[in-house]
Structure 1
Amino acid sequence: MTNRMAYQRIVGTRSHIEFLNILDEEEFDSPDRTMGILRNWARQYLTEPHQDLGRAGPVCPFTGPSLERRLFWAGIVQGDNIDFSLMTKIAQDMADIFPELSPSDGKDAIFKAILAIFPDLTDFSIIDAVQSYGKSTFINKGLMLGQFYPGCTRPGLWNDDFKPLDAPLPMLAVRHMVSTDYPFLTERSEWMAAYLKRFAPTVPPPARAYIVSKLES
């Protein structure tokens, strides 16, 4: 068995949840199937096209490069006694941990991702509540906080019938905000202000047209 301590890990100061690189985790034996389910979902779903997606390319354009560069991290939160307070602490830990993960800058930094997985959770409304509560804080840090769980009905951007957040495991995910995230940020002026502060004047023309149409509607 490979020595687990040889691999990099980082622990949240509030929640004490341990986050590991999921590709390092692959190198040693583990009785927990959760990481295997996560890796299969990432490799076989997120990195592949889908007929109902509504655009060309993979479901998530960032997952493939993230896996190739070994920049995909996750922490498993066991038990079904997870409440809003604990999950909020975990999300806050992820916001603190994310900048510490290598690389901190350079062209590859945009592909970093960190997830918290709740394999025993059955009340998925907690995930929605924590994501909604924390979204503004993450956006102001230049990050995106996403929710995934079995049966999530939030529609895709290009096809209302496609449900991209329907996942085999309940989880929260954190990544860098990118210039194409503008459709997720039009609900609040403060979110758009944070977006424009970060990306103007390099906002792509499609984003400018979309923003103008929202302001005029």
Structure 2
Amino acid sequence: MTHVDTFDAAAAGSAPVNFLPTQNTNLFALDDLDYLSMTRTLAESDLTALQAVADWIRTFVARPHKDLGHDGAVCPFVPAARERKTIWLAPERIAKLSVPEVVQLVKNYKKLFMEAQSANSHDAHYRSIVLVFTDLASDRARDLFDDVLQHLAVPSYVEDGLVLGAFYERNEATAIHSSSFRPFTPPVPFLLMRPAVISDWEFFLESEDWLDRWVRRFGASAVRALADELRQLPWRKSRSSF
């Protein structure tokens, strides 16, 4: 599989100009995968992997789940992003790549994403790139993602305002509102790239370092977000002050 800067432009299909700064990409919208004309350049194994992830997003992530712990979709941003057609999948084969090579590959996609974000802010919070590692064995996924994110997670957030998330079959991470629900286990390993949003504080409460990075990024808005959350809780009743 060729990388993001050399992929045949024909595979980009009908990419909307408000997201991509160039047609010379390796990105496929969810709906592109339903049309042979959009996917004819893909190897069958890569197409199968992309379709599996796309189906998982449509039937699991974008829908409510009884074990989630609250109402609404598993990821509340996905239904709106599907309407806006701003979820993009990119197939990459990395089984023979070293960790530094995978890091550089992700950096290439980060550059593309940042160019798109700076070119047009329309629907910016709903955009995401899903890097689908089509030949990555599930038993290798955790260690590889740990190594890659060790290099990229902090600078991506602090310098670029991007969140990188690892999704793989044996991911033990649980949902915010349910310690028994594990929503990060797709059929094919992938790395999610999306903009940081103020509601990310819910993911960072258990980490002083990440909560500090969130506060630094959102400043006064961060204080207001937490105040809004506190106003919905009965915290006054638990205090003994007069």
With normalisation by structure 2, the TM-score equals: 0.73
Tell me how far 1:98 sits from its aligned partner.
1.2
- 1:163-205 C-alpha deviation (Å, 9 max, x unpaired): 111111101011111111113334243x334322332322313
Partner of residue 163, structure 1? 182
Higher mean C-alpha deviation, range 82-91 or range 96-105: 96-105
Partner of residue 198, structure 1? 217
State the superposition RMSD in angstroms.
Answer: 2.3
Structure 2 residue 146 is the aligned partner of structure 1 residue 131? no
CA distance in 2, matches of 1:188, 1:104: 33
Structure 1 residues 6, 150: CA separation in 2 closer, same or farther (over 3 Å shift)? closer
- 1:53-82 C-alpha deviation (Å, 9 max, x unpaired): 111111011111111111111211125223
CA distance in 1, matches of 2:101, 2:13: 29
Structure 1 residues 128, 207: CA separation in 2 closer, same or farther (over 3 Å shift)? farther
CA distance in 2, matches of 1:25, 1:163: 27
Partner of residue 30, structure 2? 22
Other structure's SS at 1:33 match = helix
Unpaired runs of 5+ in structure 2? 1-9, 16-22, 231-242
Unpaired runs of 5+ in structure 1? 12-17, 210-217
* Residues 13, 32 of structure 2: 8 Å contact kept: no
CA distance in 1, matches of 2:94, 2:156: 26
Identical amino acids, percent of aligned pairs: 22
Task: Select the residue among 163, 188, 191 that pairs with 1:144.
Answer: 163
Task: Select the residue among 84, 89, 93 that pairs with 2:108.
Answer: 93
Partner of residue 120, structure 2? 104
- 1:17-70 C-alpha deviation (Å, 9 max, x unpaired): x23333334333543212211221111001111111111111011111111111
Larger Rg: 2
Other structure's SS at 1:64 match = helix
CA distance in 1, matches of 2:186, 2:13: 31
Partner of residue 6, structure 2? none
Q: Comparing both structures, which one devotes a greater share of its residues to helix?
A: 2
| Counterpart AA for 1:199 | F
